Chains A and B, each alone.
Chain A
């Protein structure tokens, strides 16, 4: 049932592989091999308990979810085996299928837009060192440490018919643009997406700033000597140097978009109509409101697989030379 929890697992794995791995030194003398092997077993013994916990808390529910997804089950009485029916329902039911489209829109707002903005602001901020930079970073990073529930409630207020956004628009004479943002079939999804942009933008920016500071200054010097302008410098030095950070940012923000739940649940419940319904919300409704545990499990499995694929593809692409 816990697609979100599982996808965080995916990211830790991805980040873990990026961290420095202990390297085997080929020149180790042969007589020390058995000692090394013994040490490896000891290490494994130490890891046994956490591994066992991981198996019980993560792997067992994962396998169970996969199992449930092949049944029609109300959570109480005997389940009936339905093969791939739940998966077929997920991709053929027009309302459930539409959730994929909504997720694609959310990916634009959660991943692409913040990364572009983050790159741009990182490039601006690192070119000229300004006093008080830490304060900027702190302010833009703030949404990342706030609970989504709080953020959703704040934005629900901002987007309200008589909320600050509409008041501001009316104050500057743009009355025609004021609308019921979250109750509007066209604007509800982008409005939710922009909340995501606000949340992930600061994170991307901070990530990219730390990435650029790790790029060797000689590269910039060399580029400038060759007569590169700011744009050339950005595309030839900064961007390639940020490949690792880009991969992390993309993986995190895209999986965040894929499993959007609390934001939608608190603001619109998937409405108006089903225009902001996401797979995670559909999953929650199937699992906890309507007795369709099998369908909920199928949605969870598909989303977990998608998160895994996203993470794998991004890692592969970013590590290719």
Chain B
């Protein structure tokens, strides 16, 4: 027994002596003084890239690489694709590896991008932003999603650590066009109209909203919140401004709205027992008139795209605010030997040409106001129009769960409590604030 105690005591001593981590903690703010944007004369360069895109998104990045290599024959980009969850959980290790990728797709927020920036694993992109004029190309509300202060305590301001791309992922309202026609209603233009339409659908025996809360789906809540919230305050809330509270950013009203819909029977009868995948499948199969959803998540075929529409409901003031972000935050590894070439590629990913490639593959474009959308695709027409309006209104708000690493769980769990009548909207916003504030306290 005595030896055990001694061993434990010895272990405790060695443990306190050497802390894990911090190995990669190089000075991330160290930047080259002058940036060359002349890639053609950079010599033969091979870049490694890891991303989490498959199917249409995978084809998009492949096409972008091919086009970039055509423009600069001296550059080769070796692409590796990994599963989303797999890459998110291993990217920090890959970027610490000398043979790791030069370019990678990360996830925004503190969980992924913030942690990588803190560890000094990704390049501060400020000088590239200046060289390529990103500050004037990209809407401010999107720029903020990729910025952290150099002390890495605050998100949403400071230096560029990642770039968006000519694609976006939004939360908005999908509708079943055939059902609307049958019910004799036009696609709603405001939240009030939507509620009137939902009531009509209910009377006609349809399920107004396809939704399942078994695994804590939050798209309806966050979609409604963006229609109700003050845009600037909502951005500030997510970007670590402690004086803004959840009740200031439409959270209380959004919770009350979805609870009201649940109580009015606007959701499927047993929505508490329906999981996300089943709800998506049911909606595409024709059950339900409306669905709040992330763009690209319904997996609509070319034929189905003719039968489903998309609207980004404007706020009562007329301006459109929507939850949206690039479907990945592009980073350059601090270990990359050719960051200038990598930055040129990131710049290309934000170009209108990359936006047109996206549309041609049925993906939602961004930063490309002049893209040509195939008119036969109802949903893509709606999605592209939404992205265009959000770009011009500078109306993006980030995904709310970026405000703290545990926020997505907090929202999902407490929303289930609200639906079960075990929590009111006041307690809900208090729980949200408690989660965010605890995280901010830990950051300080």
Chain A interfacial positions (CB closer than 8 Å to B):
63-64, 66-68, 70-81, 156, 159-162, 179-185, 268-274, 285, 288-293
Contact = CB atoms under 8 A, between A and B. Distances in A.
B188 interface: no
B194 interface: no
Contacts of A68: 20
Contacts of A181: 273
A66 B16 contact: no
Given A274-B413, A289-B405, A75 B115 contact: yes
In the complex, the 10 A-B pairs of residues with the closest C-beta atoms, listed nearest first: A180-B273, A78-B22, A161-B270, A183-B272, A76-B119, A290-B405, A183-B273, A272-B416, A161-B273, A67-B15
Contacts of B216: 269, 271
Given A79-B20, A81-B19, 6 more contacts: A73-B21, A75-B115, A76-B21, A180-B272, A183-B272, A268-B215
Contact of A180 (B116, B120, B270): B270
Given A183-B270, A269-B215, A271-B215, A77 B119 contact: yes
B25 A273 contact: no
Interface in B396-414: 405-406, 409, 412-414
Contact of B273 (A67, A159, A288): A159
Contacts of B119: 74, 76-77
A166 B214 CA distance: 17
A289 B422 CA distance: 27
A22 to B, nearest CB: 26
Contacts, number: 123
Interface in B1-37: 11-12, 15-16, 19-22, 24-25
SS class of chain A's interface: helix, strand, loop or mixed? Answer: loop
23 contacts: A63-B11, A67-B20, A68-B20, A71-B19, A73-B21, A74-B21, A76-B118, A76-B121, A79-B20, A80-B19, A160-B274, A182-B214, A183-B214, A183-B270, A183-B273, A183-B416, A269-B215, A271-B412, A271-B413, A285-B406, A288-B89, A291-B110, A291-B111
A183 B24 contact: no
A63 B20 CA distance: 13
Interface residues of B, number: 43
Nearest to A274: B413
A230 to B, nearest CB: 43
B214 A77 contact: no
A273 to B, nearest CB: 5
Interface in B231-280: 269-275, 278
B214 A78 contact: no
B274 A71 contact: no
Nearest to B408: A289
A194 B363 CA distance: 44
Interface of B: 11-12, 15-16, 19-22, 24-25, 89, 92, 110-111, 115-116, 118-121, 213-216, 269-275, 278, 405-406, 409, 412-414, 416-417, 420, 422, 442
Nearest to B216: A271
Contact of A285 (B115, B116, B409): B409
Contacts of B271: 183
B116 to A, nearest CB: 7
B21 A77 contact: yes
Residue from B20, B92, B119, B442 with most neighbouring chain A CB atoms (10 Å): B20
A283 B110 CA distance: 19
B21 A292 contact: no
Contact of B214 (A73, A271, A273, A289): A271
B273 A74 contact: no
A291 B115 contact: yes
Contacts of A77: 21-22, 25, 115, 118-120
B21 to A, nearest CB: 5
Nearest to B91: A76
A285 B215 CA distance: 14
Contacts of A290: 111, 405-406
B92 A75 contact: yes
Given A185-B422, A273-B420, A290-B111, A161 B274 contact: yes
A270 B116 CA distance: 28
Contacts of B25: 77-78
